[in-house]
Structure 1
Amino acid sequence: MTDLPARVLTDDELDLLELALGGAVAPSVLAATWPDAPADVRGPRGGPQRSKDSVGWGVVLTDAENTPLARLTVRPGDVPDAVDALKPMPPAIGPQWDAAVRRPAREVRAELEAGAGAGSPQALSLLVTEVPTREETDAAVRLAAGSDAVLLFVPAARRTPEPGTVGAPGLVRAVTGLAGTLAERTGARVSTVVVPWSGLGGVTLEEVAAAYGATRADTLAAHRSPATAAAVSGLAHVRDNAVAALYPPASAAEVARAASSGHRQGIVVFFTGLSGSGKSTVARALAAELEDDGLQTTVLDGDAVRHHLSKGLGFDRESRETNVERIGYVAALVAKHGGIAVAAPIAPFAAGRAKVRALAEEAGARFVLVHISTPLAVCEARDRKGFYARARAGEIAEFTGISSPYEEPEDADLVIDTSVVSIDAAVSAVRTHIIAAG
């Protein structure tokens, strides 16, 4: 594995990798999206258009934290390509990550085939890309007539949704309600299926549904009438229309101006803890919850920042302090304009954390320090990247917790040990603290 080149995947590419690992798309679809892949790999829509004498091609796929997730092997000639898991795909928090609904294609397909007995399964896939209206609920009942099974497909991208839109958590909750209604009104076996989907790779959602075992697919939003579509699109302007009806133009302009000028205080939520403590997992899950609440949230994860904002910095004490200060500066800028910045570096030194607090407070933002206090032994046992083992072997100098100190904060607003507190509970504790203090 170490002899192969590595590729850091974007969130969209991680969605595609998850589909490939589950058997929903061909492995070569991944490589076909990369302009620097060998030319004979980049056939239209990922087709294996390569010569018989091609020597093959391989790459290790990692996430933004450089964790090796899978090995992609594009093989020569007519030999099938392969993608092999190296580490589990890191989950986040929210209903779209529930293992009961986020299942691999091959598992869903096998379940449908087993449920059909001797006959062929008649499985309808309803692609639910928008929150269903009453009109679409009635359409779903009509479409489900005569089907043995109904799969409610919910596309859920890892990337942050557009402001003002219902994100994946809300869409899954709405579809869960639709599933109950459909089961009650049709008697069909109804399942909610979350599909990691960003539209990358040139494969359609209908083709992915077929890989999950659906014999026919229909997009539910296509059954929305023009009148309903107009009403939904007009929801954002309901207040403006009401103000215009209540006030004369000059007064309406002042009421609208006052409403738009409201400024909420920004927040910097700063996680600190050892590598492997769970701070990044909690931070990303918290950000997803806040985004689903309609709050503008920016995640500044330590490893991801080093690829961009702090590229070229080393890991000596001065470089680490510079990295933390840069994160704090950007977080303060986000919070200064009313946003929420969630940062998750190791930040081992008290002086560096104090600088970040000062930057946030100077920007008029609230600062919340969260110490993820998971013990060193647990962090080492979780080590997905082998850093602790390399540090103990002397291969990594100045590694926090081994050859470089971690100064535990004495001013933390919250202290959470993820070896005894679940990620869900940790996110809830931080979210409750933010809301209660606000």
Structure 2
Amino acid sequence: MTDTPARVLTDDELDLLELALGGALAPADLAAALPGVPPEVVLTDAENTPLARLTSGPSAAVEPLKPLAAAIGPQWDDAVRRPARDVRTDLGAGADEVGLLVTEPPTREDVETAAALATGPGGGTVLLLVPVARRAPEPGAVGAAGLVRAAQALAGDLADRTGARVVTVAVPWPGADRTAVSLADVAGAYGARRAEPLAARRSPATADAVAGLARVREEAVAALYPPASAAEVNRATRSAHRRGAVVFFTGLSGSGKSTVARALAAELDDDGLRTTLLDGDAVRHHLSKGLGFDRASRELNVERIGYVAALVAEHGGIAVAAPIAPFASGRARVRELAEAAGAHYLLVHVSTPLEVCEARDRKGLYARARAGEIPDFTGISSPYEEPADADVVVDTSHVPVEEAVRTVRTALAARLGEEDLGRPGHP
């Protein structure tokens, strides 16, 4: 495998790989969606974990190597995030399942439409197919977690009203522009004999009302105030923002810091907070590409992350960063940058012991470091200076990810002065 070229996948491409591994996307279609890949390539995530080997050409195939990293949230629940082949097998042959594509939160009219479809011909089993993306939603848009929650509520309502068997499935989906295969084609791979985009069946009145939601507040302001006052109220609303925050994770490779950071960022995004994730390996591929792993390079990498995080926080966002950050001086510089930007700062030490990190190593880096193949490897041939000023300390060897996220959220809420931020599902 070491001689095979590698391709680091984006979040959208990871969605496509998950579809292919689950049997919803042909290997040839996956290859076509990855322009420039050689005839044989190892597909990795941003942490360089080898996930699959893709072979293109007439005998196109995709071979799984390592499990894809998962996060927390309803869209990652094993009960709904199931491979297409498993869903198809569970449904069985010969049925005429209707697949409802839940691409937006269902309106009241959508609920009635779904009920009519569930009781119509072939409505004995209803598949609620919810496209979910790894990437963060556009500002103001309902994200993957919220969409799944809304779909699950619809599923319960349909089952109660119609007696139909309703199956909710979270479908990894980066968007139609990433592949020539349509969402309807993917729905067929999950077992739907026909696919109905629920939002497409809305009446013009409902469609117009949904599209005009953004205008409602401006119209209300215009009705309450004379034009000059309305302009000032709207201007103040557009410019208002909360004090931002930098949540900075540090810990050994394999400690679980990236997993907790990703889960935290996803929850904060789901709560409508503007959150930017700066994961250590992803940053290395872009912001710090070309830097080495000597002390000076590591310090520069951490400072660059801190600078970008401070910019995000300065404009009211929340930056979640998860590099190894082995040296106290580098972490102190990040704190300094955040505080100079007027942002809150939270240092989270993921204190998982070295032996646990080695045992979990998905990429074999510790073994290579102990064999002398990787110089300057933190914890083996390069020191890790444990922080004495951490605001939160979690050890993922005995603390589940969900509990670690809850602990960090509670600490962040205290900094922001918002009690409800520590509670998942905060509106």
| Deviation readout 1:111-157 (Å, 9 max, x if unpaired) | 000xx6xxx11111000100000000000000111422111000001
Q: Give the partner amino acid of 1:131.
A: P
SS at structure 1 position matched to 2:68:
coil
Contact kept in structure 1, 2:344 and 2:415, CA below 8 Å: no
How many Å apart are 1:33 and its aligned residue?
Answer: 2.0
Match of 2:83, as an amino acid?
P
Please give the alpha-carbon distance, in whole angstroms, between the structure 2 residues aligned to 1:265 and 1:143. Answer: 47
Structure 1, 67-76 or 85-94: larger mean CA deviation: 67-76
Q: Residue in 2 aligned with 1:48?
A: none
Q: In 1, Cα distance between the equivalents of 2:384 and 2:70?
A: 27
Shift of 1:74: 2.4
Residue among 65, 68, 71 paired with 2:53: 71
- Residue 83 (structure 1) aligns with: 62
- 2:421 is matched with none
The one-letter code of the counterpart of 2:163 is: G
- Within 2, Cα distance between the matches of 1:251 and 1:37? 57
Q: TM-score, normalised by structure 2?
A: 0.94
- The 3-state SS of whatever aligns with 2:232 is helix
1:129 aligns with 2:129: no
2:43 is aligned to 61
Q: Look up the match of 1:11.
A: 11
Q: What is aligned with 1:106? A: 85
Equivalent residue of 1:367, what SS? Answer: strand
Partner of residue 343 from structure 2, selected from 365, 372, 377: 365
Equivalent residue number for residue 53 of structure 1: none
Question: Hey, what does 1:434 align to over in structure 2?
Answer: 412
Residue 198 of structure 1, CA deviation: 1.0
The equivalent position to 2:147 in structure 1, one of 163, 168, 171, is: 171
Paired residue secondary structure (1:371): strand
Q: Is residue 22 from structure 1 mapped to residue 1 from structure 2 by the alignment?
A: no
The structural deviation recorded for 1:257 is: 2.6
Assess if the C-alpha contact under 8 Å between 2:302 and 2:334 holds in 1.
Answer: yes
What displacement does 1:255 show? 2.2
Q: Match of 2:124?
A: 148
Matches within 5 A, 1:247-396: 247-396=225-374
SS at match of 2:63: strand
Structure 2 regions of 5+ residues with no counterpart? Answer: 417-427
AA in 2 matched with 1:330: V
Matched pairs, number:
412
Per-residue displacement from partner, 1:157-199 (whole Å, max 9, x unpaired)?
1111100000000000000000000111111110110000013
SS at match of 2:272: coil
What does residue 238 of structure 1 align with? 216
CA distance in 1, matches of 2:138, 2:263: 17
- Give the AA of the match of 1:154: V
2: CA distance between counterparts of 1:238 and 1:428?
Answer: 35
More deviation, 259-268/304-313:
259-268
Shift of 1:75: 4.8
Give per-residue Cα distances to partners, 1:87-128, cap 9 Å, x unaligned.
001001111010100000100000000xx6xxx111110001
Match of 2:425 in 1: none
Task: Look up the SS of the partner of 1:70 in the other structure.
Answer: strand
| 1:268-295 Cα shifts (integer Å, max 9, x gaps) | 1000000000111111111111111111
Of residues 394, 407, 419, the one that matches 1:416 is 394
Mean Cα displacement is larger for which, 224-233 or 312-321?
Answer: 224-233
Q: TM-score, normalised by structure 1?
A: 0.92
Question: Do 2:257 and 2:322's aligned partners in 1 also have CA atoms closer than 8 Å?
Answer: yes
SS of the residue 2:380 aligns to = coil
